[in-house]
Amino acid sequence: MEENKTIQPTLYERLLKKEWSYYAGAVMISILAITLFMFSGSTWGVSGPLTTWGAQFFSLFGVDASVWGANIDSYKFFGNTASMTDFGLLFGALISCLLAAEWKIRKIKHWKQFVAGALGGLLMGFGARFASGCNIGGLFSQLPRFSVAAWVFLIFVFLGATVGGKLLRFFMPPTSNKRPQRKRLTAEQRKRNRTIQIALGVALIVFFLIVAAVVAPTYPKAPYFIVIGLALGYVMQRSRFCFTAAYRDPTLTGETKLTRAVILAFALCTIMFFGFQASHVDLADPSTYPGNPINLSLMLGSFIFGIGAVLAGGCASGTFVRIGEGYVQNLIALVFFIFGSVFGNAITSRIAGSFMTAGSKVYLPAILGGNIPALIVQLLVLLGLWIAADKWEQRKRG
């Protein structure tokens, strides 16, 4: 009898087609986030430019951008780090799909998906403006820097995601017993399709390298941000890394693998940021503390953002990545995310003297008496959350 031989994946399949683990994504995203910080001097953010983009759109119709609390006169795309990394997320994910020959348009199958995307985008826009940041700028980039406000954001975005998971049931399209009619491709057609997609992926890489070289004399740091943004999009797509799923899945499905990967990313970034924190933050001077003040606006905004992210099918970063993958629902979500950011910014700019600026920044080392105790406590808390998430999944999965 002949032994059954396991078919080994080709080099192409191992490098470009095979999905990465969540933990591999967590490690790479952490490294890219700290690299971005080293080059720019500021942490990774996603939702910040959306208000400006929306205000620019309305200015085409003669609307004064100051009405929305935005200043578009000084805005330069290649001078704005978040703008470049946002587009990098989208095109990095697109390149990843093309090189794996997996890109296709994911159409909306029911009007409920349109409503979910639109409503989710609006809520994310409002939430991000009320919380002064999304789950990247207000959480992922601030928690490793010992901002207690980030922990508050984490609690309320998790609560919002739990509510969003309950509401999501109303927006699920009805199931159908009819199987969709799909055109079967021949082996030759599949091969041609793969060749075209890989060629397009390579062409996009060359295009962005040319763009980086062209803008470098005027914006010397822009090439770094373009490359880092593309790398973030590529990594998030290959590893299927999704912050929204990390908050949503524990209560919706009991799955916590992605949750634990996000916790690992928090821990890695905490360690990576430690040296900078110890040398640049004066414990006696609250004005040097990173993060946002803790107030009602932060709690309300992060809660609303959590609901919106689940309904939309992706948070701020996830929305750009999924658009790159071809999801029409997330494209709709982005449009309404921008509108929500514009209107939310118009509201918050008029109530800045009330609950938007109430409260104060709380810095963990200032509470615990130093950076070393803060590092130890934060890592222990993250370890406890990782263990609790693992136990939760075991319990839910039996």
Please state the three-class secondary structure of 205-237 as a single string.
HHHHHHHHHHHCCCCCCHHHHHHHHHHHHHHHH
> What is the pLDDT at residue 10?
74
Task: Write out the E strands in 168-312.
Answer: none
What integer pLDDT is reported at residue 1 of this predicted model?
Answer: 43
Q: Give the E-state strand segments of the chain in sequence order.
A: none
Instruction: Return per-residue pLDDT of the chain as tens, 398 residues.
Output: 445 556 667 767 777 888 899 999 999 999 999 999 988 888 899 998 998 898 888 888 777 766 666 677 788 899 889 999 999 999 999 999 999 999 999 998 888 999 999 999 999 999 999 998 899 999 999 999 999 999 999 999 999 999 999 998 888 877 666 665 667 778 788 888 889 999 999 999 999 999 999 999 999 999 999 999 999 999 999 999 999 899 989 988 889 999 999 999 999 999 998 888 777 888 888 888 888 899 999 999 999 999 999 999 988 999 999 999 999 999 999 999 999 998 888 887 776 556 566 778 999 999 998 899 999 999 999 999 999 999 999 988 76
Q: What is the pLDDT of residue 60?
A: 81
Give the per-residue pLDDT at 240: 92
Please give the Cα distance from 359 to 382 (Å, whole number).
25
Residue 73 confidence (pLDDT): 75
Burial class (CB in 10 A: 0-12, 13-18, 19+), 5: exposed
Judge whether 180 and 264 are in contact, CB under 8 Å: no
Q: Which residue has the tokens 């009805």?
A: 174
DSSP-derived letter for residue 185 is P
Residues counted in the chain: 398
Contact 133, 49 (CB under 8 A): no
229-244 CB burial, b ≥16 within 10 A, e <16: bbbbbbbbbbbebbbb
Residue 304 CA to residue 327 CA, distance in Å, equals: 23
3-state secondary structure of 128: helix
Rounded to whole angstroms, the Cα distance separating 317 from 339 reads: 17
pLDDT of residue 186: 80
